Chain A
Amino acid sequence: MKHLRQVVLALLVMATGAAIGAAASVNVTSTTLGVATATVPRCTASGLSVLQNLSAGTVTSVTVGVLPAACGGAILQVTVNNGVTSASGSAAVPGGGGSVTVALGSTPAVTAVEQTDLVLVGP
């Protein structure tokens, strides 16, 4: 009888732990969804114009335009990759939106193809 009580007690404690584990699993699913939605544009879903500003065959800065007012105050992070090297910079989006020019930390050469990554953090 004493053994039975101990077994029941042990099962009860384990079940409690499992129950919390199950709840945690539900949250894991929720977390996955949360991460996915984090990549959905928040302040704009429209097209942004991206123009590279050149000097002597290199990209010195990038001007991003058509930023809506909803993006005002966000930090715009820009990374240019020409396949050989990359350069980054960031700047704050004006309160009313519009355009912002981001100076790059270095000046990659203009090549046939460049990839420019833009990330707006906030507002």
Chain B
Amino acid sequence: MIRRRLRLLAASAGFLLGVGLLPGLAASLSLTSHNFTPYRTCTITATPSTTTAVIDTTARQASATSNFGTLTTITVSSSGAANQRIYLRFDLTVCSPAIAASATVRLATLRLYMTAIPAACRILDLYPVTAAWVETTLTWNNQPFGTVLNNPPTASRTGTFSVGTPAGCQNQGTGTYVTGATVTADVAGFVAGTSTNFGWMIRDDAEGSGTTRTATFSAKQLGSVAQAPQLVITYVTVP
């Protein structure tokens, strides 16, 4: 009699165990009824002015052996013999949590605060730099892209935006961050490890202009949080 009760008890336990899983499943399944769209953004800001996470400087043709890494402005200029190029790099490894190599970068935007604008609409090109450089030693003569004007060629640019006062130009005013400097593909490559992050060089699309055309932006060394260069990376960890 006792054996029979034990057998029935065991059988009942097996049945109840099987049934007992169902309420737990229903609770887990309820997650799928939500409609989540999760994004994560890493914003790297060039602050404080002493940070090494962001480096920026200007290469000036007219002062070909001088370094301008400590200036409070960075400048792009097209001129007969006084062209200027910006070199800028953001260290992506400071993002916390780190951006996984498997992450999908949805949008990466370079933000520069414009303080002087050319009277003509100028196209500024972004080129990922292909070799290491140092903020305090870079000059026109030793810059990674060399001293030949309009090199690298426009066709190899990976981003572009326009600045100038004329109507129709993408960025027409000073005292604000420029828009349109999208570098998504470059950052995706940096994150995935398919290319090395040496930052970007920004130059006028047509260097050597007969009339000097200059766009000036606030540099890290200005020490103004409200005007500091930024890189904003929006990504998802699940494709």
List, in ascending order, chain A residues with CB within 8 A of B232's CB: 49-51
A7 — which chain B residues lie within 8 A by C-beta?
A: 7
| Contact across chains for A116 and B37 when beta carbons are under 8 A apart | no
Q: Which of B12, B21, B234 contacts A48 (CB 8 A)?
A: B234
Total chain B interface residues with beta-carbon distance under 8 A:
54
Q: Which of A11, A111, A121 contacts B36 (CB 8 A)?
A: A121
CB atoms of B16 and A17 under 8 A apart: yes
Rounded to whole angstroms, the CA-CA distance of A99 and B236 in the bound complex is 19
Cβ contact within 8 Å between B34 and A38: yes
How far apart sit A93 and B96, CA to CA, in the bound complex (Å)? Answer: 27
Asked whether A31 lies within 8 Å of B4 as measured between CB atoms, the reply is no
Number of interface residues, chain A, beta carbon within 8 A: 58
Distance, CA A68 to CA B28, complexed state (A): 30
Instruction: Tell whether A98 is near chain B: CB-to-CB under 8 Å.
Output: no
Cross-chain contact B10 with A19 (CB below 8 angstroms) = no
Which residue in chain A gives the minimum CB-CB distance to B233? A50
Q: Does B95 contact A (CB under 8 A)?
A: yes
Q: Are B40 and A13 in contact (CB under 8 A)?
A: no
- A-contacting residues, B1-60, CB 8 Å: 4, 7-8, 10-19, 21-22, 25, 28-29, 31-32, 34-48, 51, 53-54
Q: Contacts A27-B25, A113-B95, A119-B37: A50 and B43 contacting too (C-beta < 8 A)?
A: yes
Q: Report the bound CA distance from A114 to B46 in whole Å.
A: 12
Inter-chain contact B31/A34, CB cutoff 8 Å: yes
Residue A112 at the chain B interface, CB threshold 8 Å: yes
In the assembled complex, the CB of B159 is this many whole angstroms from the nearest CB of chain A, namely 14
Q: Cβ of A52: which chain B residues have Cβ within 8 Å of it?
A: 43
**Which chain A residue has the least Cβ–Cβ distance from B232?**
A50
Instruction: Indicate if the CB atoms of B28 and A40 lie closer than 8 Å.
Output: no
- Residue B184 at the chain A interface, CB threshold 8 Å: yes
Q: A10-B11, A17-B19 are in contact. List 17 more A-B contacts (CB 8 A).
A: A24-B18, A35-B32, A36-B238, A38-B34, A38-B36, A39-B238, A42-B35, A43-B37, A48-B39, A57-B225, A74-B35, A110-B45, A112-B48, A112-B51, A114-B45, A117-B38, A118-B40
